[in-house]
Amino acid sequence: MSSLVKDNPAKRRFEILVDDALAGFAEYAQPQGELVIFTRTEVDPRYQEKGVGSELVRRALDHVRARGGRVVPECPFVAAFINRHPEYAGLVTEAP
């Protein structure tokens, strides 16, 4: 199973493709500079319980970190992921 995570600014979401099929996405609010407010994460039922959601969030957070950004995890899935992976806690900030 090969996966690719990419930012889709036109739809304001990070998408994960598994074997070239859209398997899920993490939506964010209108960007405010380098601030990304994650609002919702959805994974296709065919890919649930396979680590796809965690891979999506991990790589989305890595993308934000690489460009020097910060995140507001309004999405419960993103917030839970960050709580389980404290190496991402430094990316979290308060909503403006």
CA separation for the pair 54, 19 (Å, rounded): 17
CA separation for the pair 96, 51 (Å, rounded): 31
**pTM of the predicted protein model:** 0.94
Question: Which pLDDT value is given to residue 95?
Answer: 81
pLDDT at 19 over 90: yes
Tens-digit pLDDT profile for residues 22-59: 999 999 998 888 999 999 999 999 999 999 999 999 99
